[in-house]
């Protein structure tokens, strides 16, 4: 699963430092706009999401309520110093009918329009699958919600505590409905946003017990892995409370509460710092690549679940392919902050570059292809970079239908600008050699390009003519020499 844990908090306390130093994936800052200034120096690589708590009465006049909500966010958006990665449109409105869902979507779309005008992004909070809806009506709800997910200012999707209720308390219809929604969105060409599972473990219901968030709980960790494996794209964090809201009802779930189990912070840190179980076939992979094994394995499993990738008589694995791509792209150091040596292109007269472990091109505002990409700073976060790089390669391989052609396109050496031979000398041979050395599989080399094959045929014809000419001349000389001898 990799380190995908995070937390929600309302204030800073020095007792949080061990968790901050363990590099949480996401930190949701609740209502304290200056909190990021205290946290970011200790955890600089986390995604910082700001949440302004609102009540649940936002559907009477959606547009007006959305305008009011964003006005409350503007002082945080415009504050000096550290900037938040995004803003959670916090709400847990129950969608009992389609009309309510439509009004909620109207609220979120207006918020997204206003946030886009401010140049910031949002974590949408659209949970209409949490209450009973007849199965035949599900697609009607999903169609409405897709409008939110497709909005360019929507970057993440928050899911709250009810997910574990679906999983652990036997609501298999709700669980299936969530998975069906993901499948429907993908099948109909809609965005499936990265998930932030907020308030994970908050539910007190059995079999979790009164302290469900204890990281030693087998059900908790298994549930996290299950979600991680089936939601596409990645679940990027599972969050729990540290120093939650002042409401007394929240205090039992505060990791720093006097009633918290002894050693809970130590357990959390140990869980975040745990060493992943590395496939023994990775033993020969250099450490700069091997250290990212878990993230590579997670993303590959998500895109190629339980599948190998057959190629000309050999069976390849997505995570191993991406390991070799990583060495080619950012090796030998595989530094998450790596920038491409040369520009990946220019737009409006300005160069733009590829970044991070898998050298993903960062957002280029206004560009047809790259306007919705992560920012440079986001691509320096390994989990985000590997998620995007793996997804891009997966899509490229699907469209190209051939491993070497997919690699040519991924690394920017596709025809007609580069021949297959140029790609092979600069990129392909190294990829093939590493795959063979690390994983013991000899991938068949690419076939020659038509241009090179034609050129080789012409060379062979010239050689043949030269040889024939030489043979004729030799025969004539021999005849002449014979005559002279006579």
Grade residue 321 by pLDDT with cuts at 50, 70 and 90: very high
Residues contacting 225, CB < 8 A, separation 6+: 1
In a shared domain, residues 477 and 331:
no
Looking at 258, 274, 290, which one is the last position of a domain? 274
Domain with 419 in it: what CATH number? 1.10.530
In a domain, 182, yes or no: yes
Q: Residue 229 has which token pair?
A: 């494996």
Range with the poorest average pLDDT among 187-201, 245-259, 418-432: 245-259
In a domain, 444, yes or no: no
In a shared domain, residues 293 and 169:
no
Top pLDDT among 250 and 208 is at: 250
In a shared domain, residues 88 and 216:
yes
The C-alpha atoms of residue 223 and residue 221 are separated, in whole angstroms, by 5
Element of type H or E holding 9:
strand 5-9
In a domain, 46, yes or no: yes
8 Å CB contact between 86 and 122? yes
Range of the domain at 460: 453-486
Tens digits of residue pLDDT in 59-89: 788 899 899 999 999 999 988 778 888 998 8
In a domain, 226, yes or no: yes
Q: Residue 124 has which token pair?
A: 């949408």
DSSP string, 388-401: HHHHHHHHHHHHH-
Q: What is the mean pLDDT of residues 84-105?
A: 79
Residue 364 has pLDDT above 70, yes or no: yes
Residue 365 has pLDDT above 50, yes or no: yes
Residue 462 has pLDDT above 70, yes or no: yes
Grade residue 299 by pLDDT with cuts at 50, 70 and 90: confident
In a shared domain, residues 31 and 175:
yes
pLDDT at 170: 43
Looking at 274, 307, 327, which one is the last position of a domain? 274
The C-alpha atoms of residue 134 and residue 337 are separated, in whole angstroms, by 48
In a shared domain, residues 159 and 208:
yes
**Nearest Cα to Cα of residue 338 among 362, 318, 321:** 362
pLDDT at 126: 59
In a domain, 347, yes or no: yes
In a domain, 21, yes or no: yes
Residue 44 has pLDDT above 80, yes or no: yes
Give how many domains the chain has, as a whole number: 3
For the purposes of burial, counting CB atoms within 10 Å of the CB of 229, is it exposed (0-12), middle (13-18) or buried (19 or more)? middle
In a shared domain, residues 172 and 297:
no
pLDDT at 171: 46
The C-alpha atoms of residue 259 and residue 257 are separated, in whole angstroms, by 5
Q: What per-residue string of b and e applies to 98-112 under the rule 16 or more CB within 10 Å gives b?
A: eebbbbbbbbbbbbb
Element of type H or E holding 193:
none
Question: Beta strands 5-9 and 26-30: pairing type?
Answer: parallel
Question: Beta strands 47-51 and 26-30: pairing type?
Answer: parallel
Helix axes 403-410, 318-330, angle to 10 degrees: 40
8 Å CB contact between 260 and 253? no
pLDDT at 329: 97
Looking at 240, 274, 308, which one is the last position of a domain? 274
Tens digits of residue pLDDT in 368-426: 889 889 999 989 988 889 999 999 999 999 999 999 999 999 999 987 888 888 999 99
In a shared domain, residues 241 and 314:
no
In a domain, 445, yes or no: no
In a domain, 121, yes or no: yes
The C-alpha atoms of residue 151 and residue 174 are separated, in whole angstroms, by 25
pLDDT at 355: 96
8 Å CB contact between 76 and 69? no
Q: Residue 292 has which token pair?
A: 């990212």
Residue 100 has pLDDT above 80, yes or no: yes
In a shared domain, residues 43 and 142:
yes
The C-alpha atoms of residue 82 and residue 42 are separated, in whole angstroms, by 13
3-state helix, strand, coil in the chain (%, to 5): 50, 10, 40
In a shared domain, residues 215 and 312:
no
Say if residue 207 is preceded by a cis peptide, omega within 30 of 0. yes
Grade residue 443 by pLDDT with cuts at 50, 70 and 90: very high
The C-alpha atoms of residue 338 and residue 331 are separated, in whole angstroms, by 9
In a shared domain, residues 226 and 104:
yes
pTM of the model: 0.55
In a shared domain, residues 265 and 341:
no
In a shared domain, residues 301 and 219:
no
Cross-strand partners of 414: none
Domain with 182 in it: what CATH number? 3.20.20.80
pLDDT at 79: 82
Range with the poorest average pLDDT among 76-85, 116-125, 305-314: 305-314
């Amino acid at each position: 699963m990799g380190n995908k844990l995070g937390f929600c908090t309302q204030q800073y306390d020095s007792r949080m430092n061990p968790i901050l130093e363990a590099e949480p994936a996401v930190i949701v800052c609740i209502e304290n706009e200056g909190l990021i200034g205290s946290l970011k120096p200790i955890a600089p690589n986390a995604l910082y999401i700001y949440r302004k708590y609102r009540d649940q009465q936002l559907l009477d006049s959606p547009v007006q309520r959305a305008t009011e909500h964003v006005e409350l966010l503007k002082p945080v958006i415009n504050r000096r110093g550290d900037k938040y990665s995004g803003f959670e449109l916090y709400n847990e409105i129950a969608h009992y009918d389609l009309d309510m869902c439509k009004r909620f979507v109207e609220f979120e779309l207006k918020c997204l329009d206003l946030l886009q005008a401010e140049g910031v992004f949002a974590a949408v909070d659209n949970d209409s699958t949490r209450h009973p809806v007849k199965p035949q009506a599900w697609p009607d709800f999903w169609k409405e919600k897709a409008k939110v997910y497709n909005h360019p200012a929507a970057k993440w999707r928050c899911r709250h505590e009810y997910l574990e209720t679906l999983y652990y308390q036997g609501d298999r219809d709700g669980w299936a409905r969530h998975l069906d929604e993901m499948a429907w969105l993908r099948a109909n060409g809609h965005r499936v946003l990265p998930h932030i599972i907020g308030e994970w473990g908050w539910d007190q219901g059995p079999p979790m017990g009164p302290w469900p968030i204890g990281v030693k709980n087998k059900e908790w960790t298994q549930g996290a892995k299950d979600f991680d494996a089936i939601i596409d794209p990645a679940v990027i964090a599972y969050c729990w409370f540290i120093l939650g809201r002042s409401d007394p009802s929240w205090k039992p779930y505060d990791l720093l509460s006097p009633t918290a189990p002894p050693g809970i912070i130590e357990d959390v840190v140990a869980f975040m710092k745990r060493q992943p179980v590395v496939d023994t076939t990775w033993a020969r992979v250099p450490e700069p690549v091997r250290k990212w094994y878990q993230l590579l394995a997670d993303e590959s499993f998500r895109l190629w679940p339980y599948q190998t990738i057959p190629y000309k008589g050999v069976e390849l694995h997505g995570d191993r392919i991406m390991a070799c791509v990583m060495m080619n792209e950012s090796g030998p150091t595989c530094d998450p902050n790596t920038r491409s040596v040369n520009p990946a292109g220019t737009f409006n007269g300005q160069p733009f570059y590829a970044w991070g472990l898998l050298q993903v091109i960062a957002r280029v505002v206004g560009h047809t292809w790259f306007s919705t990409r992560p920012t440079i700073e986001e691509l320096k976060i390994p989990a985000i970079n590997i998620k995007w790089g793996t997804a891009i390669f997966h899509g490229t391989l699907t469209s190209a239908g051939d491993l070497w052609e997919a690699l040519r396109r991924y690394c920017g050496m596709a025809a007609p600008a580069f021949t297959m031979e140029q790609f092979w000398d600069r990129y392909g041979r190294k990829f093939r050699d590493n795959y063979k050395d690390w994983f013991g599989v000899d991938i068949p080399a690419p076939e020659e390009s038509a241009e090179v094959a034609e050129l080789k045929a012409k060379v062979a014809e010239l050689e043949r003519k030269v040889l024939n000419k030489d043979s004729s001349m030799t025969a004539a000389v021999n005849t002449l020499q014979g005559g002279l001898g006579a």
